[in-house]
Structure 1
Amino acid sequence: MTELRNHPPANATLAEETEENGPHHMTIASHKVIASVALPMAANGDPDFVAFRRYLRWLADEQGITAFAINADTGEGAHLDNPERLRTADAVREEFGDTVYLVSGLIATHDRAAKQLASDLATAGTDALLMFTPPAFAGTTVSTDALVGYYSATREAGLPLIAFSLMADVGGVTLTPDTLAPLCAVPDLIAAVKDASFDARAYVRTRDLLTQSFPNVELLTGCDNFILESYILGAHGSLLGFAGLAGAATLRLHDLVHAGRIAEAIRWDAERIAPLASVMYGEPIRDNRSRLKEALVHLGVIDAAHLRAPLRPVAEADRERMLAAVDRTFAPFEVTA
């Protein structure tokens, strides 16, 4: 029996590519599982970067994660100011140097701010940008010309862009195929789409658009509520808050599906993934951030589950059920070839 730890790559080719060229020369999806990480806070709401680095080291050493996403929804990115976002990127590079792949959320309200933040994040060592849709574009009708202009404003930074379709319940904007198509049609603008719609039908529509019209644009699942199904439905890789907790379990699921071991993947999902994900991403879904921090405290990874106001701690009624699911996922398991 063993604890949840790192797993070997799904194939030797990927391992050789990583060893030969390093993580920055690989496609985004070839990192398999990018963990969207929490940002530990002190009691006064300031980021605790000592705890943050300890948490990332646990994900790397104990969970096998080699790619991180910072300043995203899981990391309370919308509640940070730009100096804090840059300091978060600095902390990752201070801990790991260039040995990990780093995605940062880009959250801005207008083109000029997006351009400056993209440049600053590139200087801080970010490898790719996860493009949050500005609040001005929220609603059912998105100006595609304006959105293309917003994305294009960041191009001088020279970083791959990940279009981000995010459900409205956590403050995002779901990007329909009609919105995504003009973005994907601009040469060399979009490297990947992260679908975090949490809606299987919307996810399939995004997949079909990319498969049929833009095969060079990768699909990353961000649907923590149906990870297994989104892999089977055609995700090239994943960028998940769930992996910021159960990284090794998520990597194992990815490897089973991509090795064609679907029956084993279904069993693994039923035993280790779905029970915890259903609690972590249950209603109200915006509480996933507080639940993640409570789980990390329970595992002894961080010392406190402080959040930045106005975010609030996990409801007491959820705690016992959530921690039981955490214990189930992190119980020892048999490793098979």
Structure 2
Amino acid sequence: MATTPTSQTHDDYLQEQSQTDRLPSGVYVPMLAFFTPADGIDVAATQRHTARLLAAGVAGLVVHGSNGEAVHMSRRERHEVIEAVADAVRHETDSHAPVPIIAGCGAQSLRETLELCQEAKDAGATHALVLPPGYYSSILSKDAIVSFFHNVASRSAIPILIYNFPAAANGVDLDSDTLLRIATHPRVVGVKLTCGNTGKLARVAAGVPKVRGGRDDFFVAGGSADFILQGLVVGAHGTISGFANLAPRACVRIGELFDRGLLKEARELQHEVARADWLAIRYGFVGVKAAMPLFHGKGETSCAEPRLPFTRLDENGVSVAEIQQGMLGAMEIEARLAVEAAGN
């Protein structure tokens, strides 16, 4: 980690860093993990998907989130995935407008979390997404959780975002007061609220400038595509949504319509996206994977394979037919938006 210049105080240095670490508003995609038939990392599929998402206009990419099966990977494989994504980003984008790559770095101890942050940076990540440690949740106080995040932020090789996902943290659900306490640290630069609590999102969005000295440098995002518009209405800066693996343009368009004041059109699109996202929520990353070849062509068939203990959804089963039918409206919109973009 870089050392603090001697001419600055530690706090001044951290505040200066927070400005350069700021995340742009928009749609961030928690990418799926793709494996080869031999059960290795499918680098080609990973980079093909990265290029597809960047072409759709997303603001950033997230690797090793809950959609990314990081818990099914070794540390070496996690490094390989980040490297593959970072390499694709360098080839697909203008170096003067870098695309954030946020890596999931959650672990139960401060020591391992910091190791994961360093390894993520070494592989090409720009930010880390950190869950609260939940294994000993029954004896872990809010003060200890705040201290944990502040310690990670102060010592991490890259700035961090809070990942509030109770289902992945043994039920730990950080309330808005605790989130705002954590947000006082300048190198905590955002939060993903997969808890789905839009009231909490509103309180955090309104409270962050007050606890950060008036600075608007903290990214507040919902963690699901079924409340993109609701989040924007109460002050969110974007979304980190698994369904954006399938329909990134539709998710981006909701924000564009909102920014233009076209609320009726934004609501109509949000309704269709929420209908489709319900299937992604019910079936999880396995369902999103199953939808890849349905909507992006048979060439993506290998992408539908999860790692054990999960198995691929049966192509002829009720679940796949339900996914195809339930997502069809949103995916038709996605296809139309792609044609529209190609014609411009």
TM range (shorter): 0.7 to 0.9
Question: Are 1:39 and 2:38 matched, yes or no?
Answer: no
Question: Are 1:155 and 2:154 matched, yes or no?
Answer: yes
Q: Partners of 1:142 and 1:269 in 2: how far apart?
A: 38
- Between stretches 41-50 and 296-305, larger displacement belongs to 41-50
Q: Partners of 2:132 and 2:148 in 1: how far apart?
A: 12
Q: Partners of 1:151 and 1:26 in 2: how far apart?
A: 16
Does the residue aligned with 2:135 lie in a helix, a strand or coil? Answer: helix
| Count of residue pairs brought into register by the alignment | 306
For 1:118, the equivalent position in structure 2 comes to 117
Please show how residues 35-114 of structure 1 align to structure 2 within 5 Å: 35-61=29-55, 63-97=56-90, 99-114=98-113
1:234, distance to aligned residue in structure 2 (A): 1.5
Contact 2:225-2:243 within 8 A present in 1 as well = yes
1:265, distance to aligned residue in structure 2 (A): 0.4
Say which of 191, 196, 199 aligns to 1:198: 196
- Between stretches 41-50 and 255-264, larger displacement belongs to 41-50
For 1:275, the equivalent position in structure 2 comes to 275
Contact 1:219-1:235 within 8 A present in 2 as well = yes
For 1:164, the equivalent position in structure 2 comes to 163
Alpha-carbon RMSD across the aligned residues, in angstroms, is: 2.8
1:140, distance to aligned residue in structure 2 (A): 9.2
1:94, distance to aligned residue in structure 2 (A): 2.0
Q: State the AA in 1 paired with 2:113.
A: A
What are the ranges of 5 or more consecutive residues in structure 1 without an aligned counterpart?
1-23
Provide the TM-score with structure 2 as the length reference.
0.79
What are the ranges of 5 or more consecutive residues in structure 2 without an aligned counterpart?
1-18
Does the residue aligned with 1:289 lie in a helix, a strand or coil? Answer: helix
Identity %: 20
Q: Partners of 1:58 and 1:270 in 2: how far apart?
A: 24
Contact 1:196-1:221 within 8 A present in 2 as well = yes
Structure with the bigger percentage of helix: 2
Q: State the AA in 1 paired with 2:70.
A: G
- Between stretches 214-223 and 168-177, larger displacement belongs to 168-177
Q: Partners of 2:300 and 2:230 in 1: how far apart?
A: 31
Does the residue aligned with 1:281 lie in a helix, a strand or coil? Answer: helix
Moved over 6 A (4+): none
Provide the TM-score with structure 1 as the length reference.
0.80
Q: Partners of 1:291 and 1:170 in 2: how far apart?
A: 22
Q: State the AA in 2 paired with 1:276.
A: A
- Between stretches 122-131 and 246-255, larger displacement belongs to 122-131
1:139, distance to aligned residue in structure 2 (A): 5.3
Please show how residues 200-239 of structure 1 align to structure 2 within 5 Å: 200-210=198-208, 213-214=211-212, 216=216, 217-239=218-240
Does the residue aligned with 2:111 lie in a helix, a strand or coil? Answer: helix
Does the residue aligned with 2:49 lie in a helix, a strand or coil? Answer: helix
1:225, distance to aligned residue in structure 2 (A): 3.0
More RCO (CA 8 Å, sep 6+): 1
For 2:290, the equivalent position in structure 1 comes to 294
List per-residue Cα deviations over 1:165-191 (Å, max 9, x = no partner): 1132786632112422331223x1311
Contact 1:198-1:224 within 8 A present in 2 as well = no
Which structure has the bigger radius of gyration?
2
